Structures are given as C-alpha cells and as structure tokens.
Structure 1
C-alpha cells in the first residue's frame, strides 16, 4: 500500500495558472447552481422548524419602528383642516377647481389607516423580539449568508464565463490543442498554424478595443451600457491570447519533423481561426470593426448554458479517470460477440453516457480511446472501430438530459424538453436499428454471440464490481432528491453529475472504505423514504390528495420512488452479500494496466481531469464563440433574405431544410448553430407547415450528420486526437473496395443520412406516424 503524504507537491506553472484557476471557477459554478437549491431548502427547513420563520428571519435586520401608535386623531384632523383651508384661501383658483372645501372624513380615514399600519408594524416587531431565539439567529445567519453569496455570484455569471473561456483558450494555445483538420507535425505546419492563430487572436483584440471605444462613446452620449467592465477583461484576455500564440510561434516544439507541405500546412490552422479571419474580413469591410466582439458577447446572454457546457466537459474528463468504462467492457466480454454486434451494443451504451455528458464531442474525448481499444480487442477492423468511435457521441444527443436539447427548448418556446426527449428516444431507436442493418451487410466475419446459458452468468458475475458505483451514485442522487428536493433531470444534471463523479473518484482513488460512509447515509434515507411512501399510499387510499397534484401523479411518484429504493437495496445487497460470500478483502475491481493521463490517486485524478478540461473547454468554447460570429456573417450577408417565405410544397421545403441544416452542421458547431437556426430556419419551417417538433428532430439528426461528414467531420477529428494520429494513419487502406477504404466515413454517413431522410420525409406520408413520432405533450395550465 502506497503511503500518503501531506506535503505540497511540485506543480508546473501551467497547473498553477491554468488548472487551479479552472478548478476554482468550475467549483464556483457548481456551488452557484447548487447554492440556489440549498438556500431554497434552508428556507423550507426554517419554516418547518419555527412557525412564521419568514417573519422571524428579519430579527436584527429591521430597525424598531419609530412611528406613533396612539396619535391624537381629533387634534390632527383639526390641524390638517386648518392648514388646507389656509392654503385654499391664498389660491385664487381654489373656488373654481373645487379646492375650497375640505373633506374631514377622508382626512380622518387616512390618519386612522396610518395609525393601524404603525400598530401592525410594532406588533410584528414585538412578536419577532419575543419569539426569536439564538438558534433562530444562528440559522438565519447561515441561510442569509448562503443567499448573499449565491445572489452576488449570480450577478457575475458573465464574468465567470469570460474568465473561463480566456484562461482555457490560452491553455489550449500552449498545449497546441485547438481543433484543426489535421495536427501540426512539421516545421511548415507549425509556422502556418501559429501564424493563423496569431492573426486571428490579434483581430479579436482589435475588435475588443473597437467595441470598448464604441461603448465609451455611447456612455458619453448618455446611453446606459451594461457590464462595461467586461470590455477590460476581453481586451486583457485577447491580448494574453495574442502573446501566447506569438510565444508558441517563436518557440519551436522539439518534436516537429523538418520540412512539410505548404498545402497540407493550411489544414493545421484551427477551425476557430478560419472562422475569425473570415468573420473579421467581412465585418471590417463594412466598417463594423467591433462586429466579432458583438457576436462574441451574444454568448454572455446564455452564460448559464455555456457554463453548464464547461461542467459537462469536466464530467467527461472525470469519467475518463474512473474505471467505469473498463468494467462495462469487462462485463460484455463473456458474450463473445462479433465485432459488428459489439459495435451496436457499445453505441447503445455510449448514447446514454453521451446524453449525460452534454454533447457528442465531449463523450468522444472522454471515452473514445477506450472504445477504440476494446473494439480492436474483440477483433474489429480499424476502419470499423474508428467509425464506431466517432459515432459513439452522435446518437445520444436526442436523449435525456442532453444539453443541446435544453438549449433548443430555452430558445424556442414552441417545443418543450419533454416533447423533444420523447421524440428523441424514438429517433435514437431508429438510428440504432439502421446501424445494426448496415453493419450486418458490411460485416466480414459471421455474426456470433455466446450461448445465453454460458454468457449470462459470467456477465452478471462481472457486473458485481459495478454495485459499489451504484451505491455511491445512489447516495448522491438520494441526497439531492430527499434532502435538497431536486431530482436528476436535464436541468439539474450539470449540478448533480459533477458531485457524482467526485464521489466516485473519492471511492476509487482515496479509499474503498468510503463506500461504508455512503452506505451508512443511504440505509437510513431508504428507511425514511419507505415511511414516506407508506404515508403517501394512505393519502392515496383516503382520497385526500393535496392540492396541485392528481391521484395519478401521486401514484406515479410513489411507484418511481419505490423502484428507486428497490434498486438501491439491490446494489447494497449484491455488494455486501458478495463480500460476505467471498470473504475476500482484495480489490473487488479487476486491475487494469495504467493509462497515460490517468492517476491512481485522488489529487492526481482531479489535477489531470481539470488540466484536460481546461484544454478542451478552450477548444470547444472558442469554436462555439466564433461559430456565433460565422452565423453573424450569414445573418448580415442578406443571403437569408433571398429565401422565399413559402415553397411550392412541403416536400421542397423539407428538402431545402435538410440540405441547409446538414451544411450548417458541417461547418458550425451545433451549440452555436442552434442560435442561427432558431432565428432563421425555424420560422421558415413553421411557415411551410413543418411542425416545430418535427423540424428540431430534423435539425438534431442533420447536425450530427454534419459532425460526421468531411471536410470538417469534427467527431472524426476528436477521435483522431484521443486514438492517436499514428494509429489513425495506420488504418488507411490502399486496396479493397471504395467502401472498405473509407468505411470510417461512409458507414456513419450512411446510417445518419438514412435516419435523417426517414425522420424528415416519412412522417409527411402518414398523419398517424407523424402524430406518434412527434407527439405534443399537453401540460396542465
């Protein structure tokens, strides 16, 4: 056993100035989101513990009223009447305007109302002083402190996103990790790539300065400008980013190969740089020098969404530090499936994990290397393994609780997340079935699977190491659900999932004995939950249903909680039962060879995960930010105004939208493209009779098809990053059919294109199919 020390380990400047700030910012975002939940629960606890807590919490904050509770009303009436008569006597128009007469009853009523209000204030103040206790004061200080911190931080979400983007983008520049069509491997690659980055960053700096000058002039003219301080942050950040790219340009990496091709070198310029250069050229030609910064600031309007994206990336990188993917594949091995069938199972599991890691690219980064290695281990050819790795992040974007769907629902009020996810589950099943069909036609070996009588017991035995993870994840879920009153859904996932991954890392990396702490918390919570379920069924039987809910909703909630509790009991029982039967204190999880960038210690895992997170956040957010700028070019170019308001038929409109959305997905990141599509193509689709829910399902599938289609094919670029450039190059074939030589591109394109055409056009042939596939969910008013 390795002895743990408490000494301060040595850290590189990158870890001090990049990893540590990124970790702090991410923890602040988690606290900010969970702090709102915590404060809400604190208020409920206070009200349940002390009657009229909302009034008692004002003790020591509100001063004692200084008004007179017993004024001489008769005297005050006479004084006011006399004063108003004197004022009327000096006014020559009083008689004409009716001001000569004074209404004594109205004056008396006003004075009596003032007196009653004063007495009520004093009575409330005295009640608070009599009932307040030191315990109330202490609890109020905690609850008020949480409220103050949360409200203060909530006003600076834009600043948090701005700092996160700039710090991580600088980190990505130093790591040479920006997303490009090919990596820089030669001297010419390095020169062209960094020159492109330097030019793009310098243009961003010029745009930020011009934007600040513009807003300064507006303020001088009396126009109110919000968040003006952010201009200084942007200027400092883009200045640092420019210096970082200049430094990287002048400091040649030692691993570069001499020479290189000038033509191929231009493919190493990051995609964000191309977007920035084209957008800046367009804006500068129009004299709109601050245009790029204006569209960049549009991200700030959705700061919560993009902060959640950063959390999802962190979730994915922490997932990479765990053994979960290894255990999943370990449980699948006894089935001895053929490579094509294994790909189907892997894509089904990956889709769920993709939905919980926010977006397709994040999951490819987190688990792509493991997926590729395991598929190769079961005999998958390299082209097939690369195709499945790229697709592993594509099918789950339509499943709950994917961030992309949440953004669509936030921008478009004609669809809800529930409707999108309900239709998305059907689209996912269709896509998976299509992949199964194509993969079977493309297989090179006979389809096979081990006999159930042999595979099932062995697979179940290998799933026992998953039960501790079920206990850990269940304890966190029960804590948020039963203590903080927040279920795991598409809105709370960015808050709860990081806590779950942190808990898993504590269990894996710190000490396996921490599982007993999670179990000790979970068992009494389950007991209390079953007691609550029993009370709920008594209410259901008596028919005294609380207001705001129906008997069916209450029954569904009780059944859901019952099944959850039974699942937790299963995890606890299997884990501790297996431990008692084996009487073996060894590590219940199989040992796996150490991987590069995966630590065996908690501190190292957090450091590695956050370091990788910083690089990926910088790459993804810069790409998304400049995608918004590219969308601005399209918006200002007037191209969209040339589109007809209505097409000759819904079929022509559908065909146009399919082609347009695929092109958008090919060149613009989906998270950025959603903003453009919502403002342009969504109204066009509605005007031509395409239902909003139908349109957004088309858009989601089209975006993922674009993600898999050259010339950009972002998912393939990310697969190359995690699998390794040398390994991808080794998969090239010079012989065989055209399909075999380019299978890694053609198989995903064939699957997603077929799914897109079916989703787009088949529902137009049948109203029944359309209504079933894109069912509107009625909600109570």
Structure 2
C-alpha cells in the first residue's frame, strides 16, 4: 500500500505538469503523511545530507564551466576544427556539427548545455548552407545527448556517488561508447545527406587549413586534455578537475580569446546557478524518494520479481534496458539514476555485470531520453532555438534514436567496449 501511494501520487503530480524535482519531493511527503511510517523531518534531513558530498561538488562546477565555455567563443572554434577536416565531404556540415558536439561534450558534461552552446551557431549555419530545418535541428538535439556520455559527465558523477563506484573509472569507460554513438549518428547523417544531395564546401580541405583551425582552437582543445588527463594521471580528483575547468575556462574565454567580458559574468553566474539549483533539488528529493523505497524493501521485491521471470542474464538485462528506456521518456536522467541505481545495480551485479559497465549502460540508455518525448529536454532546447514544433522534431530524431539503440546493444553485449580502457588504466 505504501509503495502504491508513493508511485500513484508521483504519477498524478507529473500528469499535472508539476516540475520533476517538486513532484518527487511532494510524493514522498504525501506518502509519509498517509502512512506515518517515518517522521516528517525525514524529507528535510535527506534534502540536506544528500547534497553534503564532496564528489557531488563537481556538478555545479561542471555546469558553470559549460556556461563559461559556451559563451566564450570556444564552441565556435571547435566547430571550425571539425569543419576544416570534413567540411568538404558530403554532409560535411552535419558531420562537423556532430563532431563539435562530441568535443563540447568533453567540456560541459551536460546534454542541454551542449545543445544550447552548439545549436545557436550551427542550426542557422546549416540552414544557410541548404540543409532543411528539421534535419539540422534533429542533428543538434540528438548529438547533444553525447554530452552525458563522453566524460566528464554529470550523470556519471551522480551514479558514482549513489552506486559507490569510481567516478574516474566511469569517465574512462564512457569514452569509447560516446565515440561509437557519435559515429553511428555520422553514418545516418552521411546517408541522409547523400540522399538529399547536401554537398560539402566547394573549397578543398588542406593540411594548411586544418593546421590553422587547430592553431586557432588550441586553447579550447586543451580543455578536455587538462580535465581528463589530470584525472587519469592522478593529479586531481573529478571534483578538483571541475574547479580547474572553471578557472581555465575563464582564463581562455576572457584573456586568450577575449570573447567573454566582465559584464557578461553576472548572466553566466545566474544561468549556471539556476541550472545548479534545479539539479540539486532533483538530487535531494530523488535521494529521499530512493531511501524511502529502500526502507520499504522495494529493491529486494523488484529483484525477486525479475529473477522469477527468468534466470537467464540476457533476458534480465534486456528487461532492465527496456525499463530504463521507458523511464527515460518520463523522468529526468539524474532522478532516474538516483532512484533506480539502488534497485537495479544489485540485480546487475548478481547476473555478472560489472558496476562500472552497468553504469555506462544506464547513462547511455537514459541519454536516449533526452530526445524522446514527452520529457525530451534536448528537444525543447533545440525547438526553442530553431522555432520548429516539437511534433515535427520528434519525428525527425527517430533515425538518431535507432542509431543510439544500435550502439546501446553493442555495448550491452560487448562489455570490452566500455571496460577496455578501464583495464589499461589500472
């Protein structure tokens, strides 16, 4: 009965369009009032203790770093590098956009931030070069989801905290899957561009042109090297890396590129603070929600139910993947990770999946939720930039969803794709 009240109230609140963080908190509070199994102070205590975590401090700093770099001319220079390499190929602008999103993913750690930073530049540019608006918007919305797969990744930080897994190992494990997602999207972009006759630039590429683009973007390209190299080299933790990303981002944007001024900083700080507040409210309420489920022994009951369906690891993992796909359509990625990790991780370990590998599966799976309605955060951001309706955009991203599903299946059944680099780093 307790669990029924919890999920029913949560579903009703979501249906009423109450924000996800508030819905989770109110559902927990309603259940506490109705059942009396816990004191009312339980929610308040969880809101405080859940965010009192050193690894979790990486989240606001990565958000701030993404805001600084998105407004500091860094995303434009990353595109110039990608465009110099593939711009003269069939669908060159489309492929260059995906590559730029992959570069920016190694800076921001956020899907919507990647869409916002790249979309404002690339959607109008692609339309000017003859690409149809639907395709251009779909590319940016879809490629933006790579922002949570290629490290650093905010959802990976959350999974590491909740699942007691190494955030550094998660970052390493996300590199190859993130690249594979990008490649699968490029394959579709090339096929569609060839079919529609979207040609590249007339001027041929050259070593000189590529070298000039790399030289202009050298300070931007150093950012992921510093962040990831420092973490993997043992020079600093992921949390300290986030702080360094902010400091370096400010230096590169204000001193080296001079495209971010002091008068721009208040807006950058306000935007990052609003995003951080939203994220931390979700983290706090979802942690309380998840702890309540644990007290009610829901994880144990779910595990027992799944094991009754089948004892075959392949069937169980496919059921888990299907569940995550559905959840990703309706629930924020961070909330889903906090609530479902304590339920699903023990099952995954029981059927032989490494916690790091399973974390990557969760993140990639839930990243698809960024471009699946009704939640589809990237769809809303991209739609706001291009003015395209959500209905049209939802249809346009379908091929990219299938590309991500194909990659998800690959990394599900070939664990080495995630774990190979982790093994080398040991």
Same fold by TM (over 0.5)?
yes
Residue 282 (str. 1) matches residue 19 (str. 2):
no
Could you tell me how far 1:626 is from its partner in structure 2?
3.1
Q: Which runs of 5+ in 1 are unaligned?
A: 1-264, 511-599, 734-740, 764-769
Preserved contact between residue 105 and residue 152 of structure 2 (Cα < 8 Å): no
Q: 1:777 aligns with which of 412, 423, 426?
A: 423
C-alpha distance 372-275 of structure 1, shift in aligned 2 (>3 A): farther
Bigger Cα Rg: 1
> Secondary structure of the equivalent of 1:349?
helix
Cα distance in 1 for residues equivalent to 2:245 and 2:283: 23
Structure 2 counterpart of 1:743: 395
Residue 353 (str. 1) matches residue 101 (str. 2):
no
Per-residue Cα deviation, 1:715-773 (whole angstroms, up to 9, x for no partner): 2233345x16xx133x865xxxxxxx74344133222222222322x33xxxxxx4565
Counterparts in 2 of 1:696-715, with a 5 A limit?
Answer: 696-715=359-378
Cα distance in 1 for residues equivalent to 2:89 and 2:132: 11
Q: 2:133 aligns with which of 379, 382, 398?
A: 382
Cα distance in 2 for residues equivalent to 1:468 and 1:648: 52
Cα distance in 2 for residues equivalent to 1:777 and 1:459: 34
Cα distance in 2 for residues equivalent to 1:720 and 1:376: 14
Residue 466 (str. 1) matches residue 217 (str. 2):
yes
Per-residue Cα deviation, 1:106-130 (whole angstroms, up to 9, x for no partner): xxxxxxxxxxxxxxxxxxxxxxxxx
Cα distance in 1 for residues equivalent to 2:88 and 2:319: 41
Aligned length: 401
> Secondary structure of the equivalent of 1:605?
helix
Q: 1:676 aligns with which of 334, 339, 343?
A: 339
Q: Which runs of 5+ in 2 are unaligned?
A: 1-13
Preserved contact between residue 287 and residue 338 of structure 2 (Cα < 8 Å): yes
C-alpha distance 636-369 of structure 1, shift in aligned 2 (>3 A): farther
> Secondary structure of the equivalent of 2:274?
helix
Q: 2:266 aligns with which of 595, 607, 611?
A: 607
Counterparts in 2 of 1:302-701, with a 5 A limit?
Answer: 302=53, 304-331=54-81, 336-337=87-88, 340-412=91-163, 416-417=166-167, 419-443=169-193, 444-446=195-197, 448-450=199-201, 453-467=204-218, 487=235, 490-507=238-255, 602-632=261-291, 634-635=293-294, 639-645=298-304, 646=307, 647-701=310-364
Preserved contact between residue 337 and residue 448 of structure 1 (Cα < 8 Å): yes
- Normalising by structure 1, report the TM-score: 0.46
Cα distance in 1 for residues equivalent to 2:322 and 2:282: 22
| More helix by percentage | 2
Cα distance in 2 for residues equivalent to 1:632 and 1:411: 11
> Which is bigger in relative contact order (C-alpha 8 A, separation at least 6)?
2
- Normalising by structure 2, report the TM-score: 0.79
Preserved contact between residue 398 and residue 700 of structure 1 (Cα < 8 Å): yes
Cα distance in 1 for residues equivalent to 2:298 and 2:226: 49
Structure 2 counterpart of 1:550: none
C-alpha distance 696-616 of structure 1, shift in aligned 2 (>3 A): closer
Preserved contact between residue 628 and residue 673 of structure 1 (Cα < 8 Å): no
RMSD: 3.7
Cα distance in 1 for residues equivalent to 2:178 and 2:208: 29
Cα distance in 1 for residues equivalent to 2:22 and 2:146: 29
Cα distance in 2 for residues equivalent to 1:633 and 1:353: 37
Could you tell me how far 1:267 is from its partner in structure 2?
6.7
Cα distance in 2 for residues equivalent to 1:358 and 1:297: 24
C-alpha distance 353-490 of structure 1, shift in aligned 2 (>3 A): farther
Preserved contact between residue 254 and residue 260 of structure 2 (Cα < 8 Å): no
C-alpha distance 609-654 of structure 1, shift in aligned 2 (>3 A): same
Structure 1 counterpart of 2:9: none
Cα distance in 1 for residues equivalent to 2:82 and 2:347: 46
C-alpha distance 352-661 of structure 1, shift in aligned 2 (>3 A): same
Structure 2 counterpart of 1:271: 20
C-alpha distance 746-418 of structure 1, shift in aligned 2 (>3 A): same
Could you tell me how far 1:319 is from its partner in structure 2?
1.3
Structure 1 counterpart of 2:11: none
Could you tell me how far 1:309 is from its partner in structure 2?
1.1
Structure 2 counterpart of 1:717: 380
Cα distance in 2 for residues equivalent to 1:332 and 1:678: 36
> Secondary structure of the equivalent of 2:325?
helix
Structure 2 counterpart of 1:590: none
